[in-house]
């Protein structure tokens, strides 16, 4: 079945460091791909998404490119801030099978130190 | 739009009691999801509805859990009787058809503690 694998955390960085959180997927067909962020005590919020191969999603300085050849959707940010501390979830929405669901990775906790 | 509205935000209850969690979806969204989040198991889909009809309830842990969507603007998740292992954050989320790339919007969650 469809699945998402993202790098295990926690990840601890200093402010202004470069961030990469790896995400790979297995899916039938061509899914849409998402990154969600969960700040402490809150629900999940969409950070960015890409709906077809080679699309780049971007928001708040974060970017991820839909790579069909490597089945990946890695999240990057050039210079993280303390306010980016949160849990990040990679997810896919399949076009086959259960079309009404998002399949989430396990989440990666990011802590940014001043 | 006010977003997905969940209630209660926090609930502490005694083992054996009935718990009812409520969700008001974003107007016009025809998909509604109930998720559970714990430290041990992460984010789990319990059940989802399309046009008020349950489509997949394979994630519901056992018969103590039930969910209803009597109309397009309201859904409930009920646990009866509750147990300490049900302590978790329960999220309601809604969207248009996700497989078309539509965003799923989450509520702020109901934080349940069963003692």
Instruction: Evaluate whether B85 touches B74 at the Cβ level (below 8 Å).
Output: no
* pLDDT at residue B5 greater than cutoff 80: yes
Model pLDDT, residue B78 = 98
**Other CB atoms within 10 A of residue B102 CB:** 16
Residue whose C-alpha is closest to residue B80's, from B18, B12, B11: B18
Question: What's the pLDDT tens digit per position in B60-75?
Answer: 988 999 999 999 999 9
**Which band of pLDDT confidence, cut at 50, 70 and 90, is reported for residue B80?**
very high
Question: What's the pLDDT tens digit per position in B19-53?
Answer: 999 999 999 999 999 999 998 888 889 999 999 99
Chain A residues touching residue B4 (CB < 8 angstroms): 43
Instruction: Evaluate whether B83 touches B112 at the Cβ level (below 8 Å).
Output: no
**Which band of pLDDT confidence, cut at 50, 70 and 90, is reported for residue A97?**
very low
A106 and chain B in contact, CB less than 8 A: yes
Average pLDDT, chain B: 93
Instruction: Evaluate whether A99 touches B98 at the Cβ level (below 8 Å).
Output: yes
**Which band of pLDDT confidence, cut at 50, 70 and 90, is reported for residue A96?**
low
**Which band of pLDDT confidence, cut at 50, 70 and 90, is reported for residue A102?**
confident
Q: Kindly list the distances between the CA atom of residue A77 and the CA atoms of A38, A80, B14, in Å, as whole numbers in the listed order.
A: 17, 6, 44
* pLDDT at residue A20 greater than cutoff 90: yes
**Burial of B70 by CB count in 10 Å (0-12 exposed, 13-18 middle, 19+ buried)?**
exposed
B114 and chain A in contact, CB less than 8 A: no
Question: What's the pLDDT tens digit per position in A27-79?
Answer: 887 888 999 999 988 889 999 999 889 999 999 999 999 999 999 999 999 99
Report how far Cα A16 is from the mean position of its chain's Cα atoms.
19
In whole angstroms, give the CA distance from residue B34 to residue A25: 23
Cα angle value A53/A103/A65 (rounded, 5°): 25
Instruction: Evaluate whether B40 touches B24 at the Cβ level (below 8 Å).
Output: no
Distance from CA of A81 to the nearest CA of B (A): 23
- Residue B30: partners with Cβ closer than 8 Å, 6 or more residues away: B50, B51, B72, B96, B97
């Amino acid at each position: 079945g469809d699945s998402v694998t993202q790098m295990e955390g926690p990840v601890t960085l200093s402010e202004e460091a470069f961030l990469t959180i790896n995400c790979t997927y297995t899916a039938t067909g061509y899914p849409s791909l998402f990154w969600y962020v969960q700040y402490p005590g809150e629900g999940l919020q969409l950070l960015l998404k890409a709906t077809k191969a080679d699309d780049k999603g971007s928001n708040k300085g974060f970017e991820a490119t839909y790579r069909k050849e490597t089945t990946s959707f890695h999240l990057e940010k050039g210079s993280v801030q303390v306010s980016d501390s949160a849990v990040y979830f990679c997810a896919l929405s399949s076009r086959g099978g259960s079309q009404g669901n998002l399949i989430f990775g396990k989440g990666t906790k990011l802590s940014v130190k001043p | 739009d006010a977003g997905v509205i969940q209630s209660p935000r926090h609930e502490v209850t005694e083992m054996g009691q009935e718990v009812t969690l409520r969700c008001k979806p974003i107007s016009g969204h025809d998909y509604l999801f109930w998720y559970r989040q714990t430290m041990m198991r992460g984010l789990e889909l319990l059940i989802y509805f399309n046009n008020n009809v349950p489509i997949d309830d394979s994630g519901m842990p056992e018969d103590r859990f039930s969910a209803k969507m009597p109309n397009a603007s309201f859904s409930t998740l009920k646990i009866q009787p509750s147990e300490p292992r049900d302590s978790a954050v329960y999220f309601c989320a809604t969207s248009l058809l996700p497989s078309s790339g539509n965003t799923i919007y989450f509520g702020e969650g109901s934080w349940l503690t069963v003692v």
